[in-house]
Each structure stands twice: as C-alpha cells, then as structure tokens.
Amino acid sequence: MRLIALTDDQLRAGGGLKWGRAPGDVLPADIAELDFAVAPPIRAALSASVDRSALGYPDYEAGAPVRLAELFAERTRRSGGWRPQARAVEICAQITQALCCVILAFTRSGDEVLVHSPTYPPFLEAIRSLGRRPLLLPVGNVGDDAVKAAWAGAERARRLRLILLCQPHNPTGHVFDLATLEALADLAEHRDAVVFTDEIHAEIVYDGTQCPSIASVRGAAARTVLFTSAAKSFNIAGLRCAVGHFGSDELHARFRTLPWHLRSGASALGIAATIAAWESCGSWLDQLREQLSVNRIRLADFMSTFEQVRFTPPAATYLAWIDLRGAGLDFNACDVLLKAGKIALQPGSVFGASLDGFVRLNFGTSEARLEKLLQRFGKALDSGYGKG
C-alpha cells in the first residue's frame, strides 16, 4: 500500500471544494483536503458496497454501525489511554452537525460557549446562529500570560454552559497539554458545564507529542461529548461520517431527545469507508504522517528566511497558521498572495475579528507541489504588491 500524490489535473477533475473552484493558474492550499489518492482498502470497500447495491438507509442499531462503534472503542483503548464504551457511541454525518445538536440539547438562547480563539469558522457560526454567545479564550496552555489574563473572564461568566475544545487545534495546530485540560475540566465542574471536544485531527501529531483527550481527565469524563472522524486523516470528508462518545448515560439520553433526523445522516458509504480506514489503512496513515512531517520541516525552514513572517510549526494537523502582520501589507494578506503569487490560502479574518494579517496554509500535499507553493509565496512577498 503506497501513498500516491494526485496530479493537478486529477485533483481539478475531482470537483472537490478545494480544487474545483480554484482558477486554472492558481494553486489552492486553503480547504483542509489532502492531495493524495484515497487508500486502496477504502476504495475496495466502496466498490464492494456499490457492487452489492448496499446503498440504502443504514440500520444504526445493527450491522456496520454497531461494528463502527466497537471499532472506535477498540481503537481508542489502544491509543488514547482511556476506555470508551461502544454502547455510548453515536454516529452522525459530521462533527459540526453534532456540535449544533449539543448546543441545542445542553444550552439555551443567550448562554455562553467557551471557545478558543482563533476559532474554526463553522464553530463560531454554529454558536452565533443558534443564539448563543461565544466567550473567547486565546489558544495556549494555562501557563501562558495571555491565557491567564482571559481565564478570569471565563471564571466570572454568568451563563457558561458549554466548553468547546478542538484538540488538536484548528487553525494553529496547537496541542493542549494535560494541565490545560485539567484546568478546563475544573472550570466545567465548577460551572456545571458540558464539554464538547472535536478530535478529528488527533491522528496527525508530530515529534512524539502527546495529545491527551479531555475525555480521559478525571472530573471531565462524565460531562464530555467527544466527536471524531476519519475524514481528515484519510481524505474522505465528502462521505459524511462522524463518530461520537458520551461520557454518561444522562448526556447520551439528552442528546437523543432531539429528532433523529436532526442528529443522524451518516451514509452507508461513509460508514463502510470509515471501517475500512480504521481496520486496514494503518500503513497508509503512517506514510501520510511521514510525508507531512517532511513537509512541515520544509515549511518551517522556508518561513524562517523571512524576517517579516512569524510562524510556529504546528504540533499537529497539516495546517500552518502564518502571521504576516509584519509584512507591511496594505491589503488583505490572502488577496496579495492570490494576486501576486497565484496561491489560494484561507484568510485569518474568517477565524475571528482582528486576524486579517494571518493566513492558514494546508501543507497536506506532495513535496513538489509544496515547493511550488513556497516559491509563489516568496515571490508574492518580494513583489512589493500590497505594500505602502
């Protein structure tokens, strides 16, 4: 089983969000999709489902969904350091859908949701569109000065009902240490808040970094809802399948009071692909991690050559959070990079107010394509375009 980088033509022909909407002369590195072919066991599982015409509604109480719940529990026990129960697992279409359901089930209009800043855009949209108020906490660990300053505000919040965690963090690639998770657990216990943790990137971690789950922390386990997916690690986001675990029967029961059609929707193909990924694609994932590690080092070396660029290599994910505020740009950084460099990155402004000078770059691609991206990045910064 080999990790295969797709060509530009193959990626554009696929019609995905990342490559499908990029003009022909632009290299996209904005959307969190990988530029690699899906692993053979996943393709085989999908072909087998189509050959059997197994494309009906999944029976969530039997068959493949039950196997998926068992597989999640087995996989987590081996690698996560805690012991989830398969009976406490719920399968949804995607993690943001599950978050919306958790917001509806465990909070009321006007309640506060603690979330780290910068914030994954769909999280902010979910909080605000459902009538709740985001309470922003800077990304970092409890010993960081900026976090200490903001922590007091979180402790004084009158209507804090939900703590939203992204571990590892998107867009910065930060991994919260155990002390920070314990502090969040204490806060949740003190305020009787539910914890929702998105761990979709937890299988992409570098340099032996430990990535603990708050679901394993004493005091938080019984109040934690954890959701993950094979979507990012195995490049199958379009198949729509997310797996969640509830730390108590009470949490699970309250979640299930919502209409089934609101909280379900994982497809038969998504379930089959996730089972194949978690059962049979370990060596493919190892190769992906090796390639991403090489790319991460190259990216860090390149960014270090620019005095006006601030960049901390991510501890996890294949996303780079780059600070261009020192580049002296009069225009939006992404606009400059697009017009002068013909590369599409995600603007910092979508992750929160006052983040215009930041960009997010997806380095989940081949070494050759990454080199092209970096050459164009450097060319754009050196061009003088967008500078007063």
Provide mean pLDDT across the span 57-61.
85
The 10s digit of each residue's pLDDT in 331-341 is: 788 999 999 99
Domain boundaries, the chain: 8-38+282-382, 45-280
Provide mean pLDDT across the span 59-82.
87
Of the given ranges (91-100, 128-137, 140-149, 265-274), which has the lowest mean pLDDT? 140-149
For residue 147, name the pLDDT band (cuts at 50, 70, 90): confident
More reliable by pLDDT, 303 or 79:
303
Provide mean pLDDT across the span 291-318.
96
What pTM, to 2 d.p., does this model score? 0.95
For residue 329, name the pLDDT band (cuts at 50, 70, 90): confident
Of the given ranges (2-6, 48-52, 206-210, 258-262), which has the lowest mean pLDDT? 206-210
**Which residues have CB under 8 Å from 77's CB, separation 6+?**
83, 84
Provide mean pLDDT across the span 9-13.
95
CB 109 within 8 Å of CB 131: yes
The answer on pLDDT for 330 being more than 70 is: no
How, if at all, do strands 194-198 and 160-166 pair?
parallel
Nearest to 201, CA basis, from 321, 314, 359: 314
Residue 79: predicted pLDDT: 79
**Which residues have CB under 8 Å from 277's CB, separation 6+?**
39, 41, 42, 230, 233, 234, 236
Domain 8-38+282-382 in CATH: superfamily? Aspartate Aminotransferase, domain 1 (3.90.1150.10)
The answer on pLDDT for 144 being more than 90 is: no
For residue 388, name the pLDDT band (cuts at 50, 70, 90): low
User: Over the chain, what is the mean pLDDT?
Assistant: 93
Distance between CA 265 and CA 286 in Å, rounded?
Answer: 30
The answer on pLDDT for 123 being more than 70 is: yes
Residue 179: predicted pLDDT: 93
The 10s digit of each residue's pLDDT in 150-195 is: 777 777 778 999 999 999 999 999 999 999 999 999 999 989 999 9
For residue 386, name the pLDDT band (cuts at 50, 70, 90): low
Q: Which CATH class is domain 45-280?
A: alpha beta
Provide mean pLDDT across the span 205-231.
94
The position carrying tokens 């770059």 is 361
More reliable by pLDDT, 15 or 145:
15
The 10s digit of each residue's pLDDT in 76-120 is: 988 777 888 999 999 999 999 999 999 999 999 999 999 999 999
More reliable by pLDDT, 354 or 289:
289
How, if at all, do strands 133-138 and 112-117 pair?
parallel
Phi-psi region of 211 (alpha: psi -120 to 50; beta: other; left: phi over 0): beta
The one-character DSSP state at 248 is S
The 10s digit of each residue's pLDDT in 267-282 is: 999 999 999 999 999 9
